[in-house]
A and B are shown apart, each in its own frame.
Chain A
Amino acid sequence: MSTLMNGARMLLECLAREGVECIFGYPGGVTLPLYDALYEHPIRHVLVRHEENAAFAAEGFARATGKVGVCCATSGPGATNLTTGLVDAMMDSIPIVAITGQVSSRLIGSDAFQEADTFGITRSCTKHNYLVKRLEDLAQTVHEAFYVAATGRPGPVLVDITKDVLQGQGHYQPVTAIHLPGYKVFTEGHTGQIRRAAQMIQEAERPLVYAGGGIIAAGAAAELREFVERIDAPAVTTLMGLGALPSEHPNFISMPGMHGSYAANMAMTESDVLIALGVRFDDRVTGRLAAFAPHAKVIHVDIDPAEIGKNRAPDVPIVGDVKRVLAKLNKLLAESPESTSETVTAARRAWWRRVRAWKEEHPLRPVTSETEIKPQHLMAEIDRLSGGEAIVASDVGQHQMWAAQLVRFNAPRLWLNSGGLGSMGFGLPAAIGAQFARPGKLVFALVGDGGFQMSIPELGTISSNGLPIKIVVMNNGYLGMVRQWQELFYNNRLCAVELDCFPDAAKLAGAYGFTGRTIESPRELRAALEEAVSTPGPYLLNVKVSPSECVYPMVPAGAGIHEMVLGPPQPVAVPSR
């Protein structure tokens, strides 16, 4: 017979059996039993400075590894603080398990101190959620939560546990099976449809591969690469898919969509067969749907049937794990003889000539200046230092878009960003999670001056854990992305976007016990970044960049993605106050 233990200890037993080594959390009244059990347990608890960041850090951990990230919070305010991170994980299909404490079962519904309806509040923020009111349900529920988070289309799962369950005494009963009769995980993909897809691909004259975060979630980068090379088609990866195909791959023509490359958007628009792999035809990618890929037959592979046909009706729908589907497609393509039709071969050659011409016509090229640091210059220097190898956890805004355009990622799970929800304040805590997951890895937290100020408390977490994160603030003095929209679409009537106070980086980092520095001359940039990277431990580099830059290309809201604005309409005055 196993030993008698309380619910809190049993929870840790479950986590340990799931292979959890580290959880990000913040304690409180009803989770006291859990922290008492953690006191003598090998699982590492990382104390963040705000529960939202516990969820973001768990996401950073999961995004950097593919393993389930874990966060925990107390009842009431602790749980409500988690919600942004849960929605973020939901939108980007990131597997995390959130553990929250709940008031004792007999107090639920009585407006008890720090009571909130966590189960109700998080219903729409999670892939699935649970309320555990009986100790005998605890182990089964926790194991189920990990299973649901990690399988199928991954996502966040929350387990709300009442205090009496955490305190109750019982025996851990090994859970041998998960029984979820209604949980449908589609993996294989319909053989007939895969065959049709192969044929359509072989007959395509202007094929384009459109790959997304699903490739990374499925661990299908190798299969994708083989596929792209086998059919020798140009390939784009979405914001969530950066690194799914190495940025240096000769077939890669960058990211499509609102701030995508000219070549990617033109290729989307002109392609005749669009091979969509682990993507969801997000509005930021497609622009005006009616004008999106108007000539293309669409092959859409996704593990979630609800994504198929949601925004664009495919000609060949394939519900399945994109890794397995690609492996089958590769096999079919290898077995069946090359398409020998001369028209197709000639058309493909002409297609590549057009794609290359688009690439050369309007490349994504860093802009530099003698007098000020251009944001694009900063990204180019980060790219140079990274060489496609570093982890870059980005925040949300202009800096995110420039980084996506200009920093190379030669492997999956290096580019970590809040794609679907676009939550400011994501970058720094995500970097924390990633650094715990990959201790020896160079991790940049690339943040805006706005988002950074949402995350400053986490400097404490970084410092007390000695995390060697290189925080680079792209400081343009504005909530830049909002300023850009006000400039371009609201007659430059700038309202509530100016960040006229930013802390002295050296003093701020110094106050937390590490090094910080501010630079503003382009001549200092390279050396300062190198110093940040070579200095052991954390580093805060505040890079003042030109304030008035806008991200281009840009597809205005409601336009087709081929209707890109490639540069500023006329010289823009820097507004002064």
Chain B
Amino acid sequence: MMQVISLLLENKPGALMRVTGLLTQRGYNIESLTVARTHDPELSRMTIVVDVDAALRQQVIKQMNRLINVLQATDLTDLPAVVRELVLVRIRTTMESRTAVLKEAEIFGGRVVDSSTEGYAIEATGDPEKLNEFVDVMRSYGEIEVTRSGALAIGLEAKKLRLQPPVPTKAVTAQKV
């Protein structure tokens, strides 16, 4: 089963590489990864979906928490959480299939974001598995191109964030040479 990891980390160069390095070092393939700034521009929120051996999951989380740039890494796999994804589908349509495609898209809550004689571009959001079905259905109507955002997750229980306050430097007290 996939592990869903949510991280809050400093928005600094190299931070992403440190986190993914812990996974690639072990030869794990990252299924999806999203990262973007939070309301605080100094921080980013990252969601990783990755297939980690059950026995090593806790260890991986601990090692992520150990990273200097990581404020908090949480395993959301078994916690109450909302997981969502965005998919963009470009589909070629024929005159006959256009209405049917629209109907199907509606069932999945899809929204047409571009329309031309060639076809549509449709966006849909939702549970990643639901989106798989959506993509399958679209494919049954013709040639498609798909881009997915990867899973975004948010835990539904607040977790206490333990942050280190600023520490005065030794250099302040040290003598100047």
Which A residues contact B (CB, under 8 angstroms)?
A: 13-14, 16-19, 42-43, 119-120, 123-124, 127-129, 131, 143, 146-148, 174-185, 304-306, 309-310
Contacts and interface: CB of A to CB of B under 8 A. Distances in A.
A305 B59 CA distance: 9
Size class of the B contact interface (CB-based, 8 Å):
20 to 34
Given A42-B177, A306-B63, A176 B14 contact: no
Contacts of B177: 13, 16-17, 42-43
A95 to B, nearest CB: 13
Given A124-B25, A177-B168, A181-B164, 19 more contacts: A43-B177, A119-B14, A123-B21, A131-B14, A143-B169, A146-B170, A175-B172, A178-B166, A180-B68, A180-B167, A181-B10, A182-B67, A182-B70, A183-B164, A184-B164, A185-B164, A304-B66, A305-B65, A306-B63
A-B residue pairs, 9 tightest by C-beta: A16-B177, A17-B171, A306-B62, A177-B166, A182-B71, A179-B166, A181-B163, A128-B68, A178-B167
Nearest to B177: A16
A176 B170 CA distance: 8
A42 B68 CA distance: 32
Contact of A183 (B59, B63, B68): B68
A176 B168 contact: yes
A306 B169 contact: no
Contacts, number: 91
The listed residue with most A CB atoms (<10 A of its CB), out of B13, B70, B164, is B164
Nearest to B24: A124
Given A17-B174, A310-B59, A182 B9 contact: yes
B6 interface: no
Interface string B2-26: 0000000110011001100100010
A14 B168 CA distance: 15
Nearest to B69: A182
B115 interface: no
Nearest to A157: B68
B160 interface: no
Contacts of A182: 9-10, 67-72, 163-164
The listed residue with most B CB atoms (<10 A of its CB), out of A120, A177, A179, A183, is A183
Contact of B14 (A129, A175, A181): A129
Contacts of B59: 306, 309-310
B176 interface: yes
B162 interface: yes
Given A182-B164, A306-B62, A143 B171 contact: yes
A129 B21 CA distance: 14
The listed residue with most B CB atoms (<10 A of its CB), out of A131, A184, A304, is A184
B58 A309 contact: yes
Contacts of A177: 166-169
A143 B164 CA distance: 17
A131 B13 CA distance: 9
B46 to A, nearest CB: 13
Contacts of B171: 14, 17-18, 143, 174-175
27 contacts: A14-B171, A17-B177, A18-B171, A18-B174, A43-B177, A123-B18, A129-B14, A143-B171, A175-B172, A176-B172, A177-B169, A179-B166, A179-B167, A180-B167, A181-B164, A182-B9, A182-B67, A182-B69, A182-B164, A184-B65, A184-B66, A184-B162, A185-B164, A305-B62, A305-B65, A306-B66, A310-B59
Nearest to B9: A182
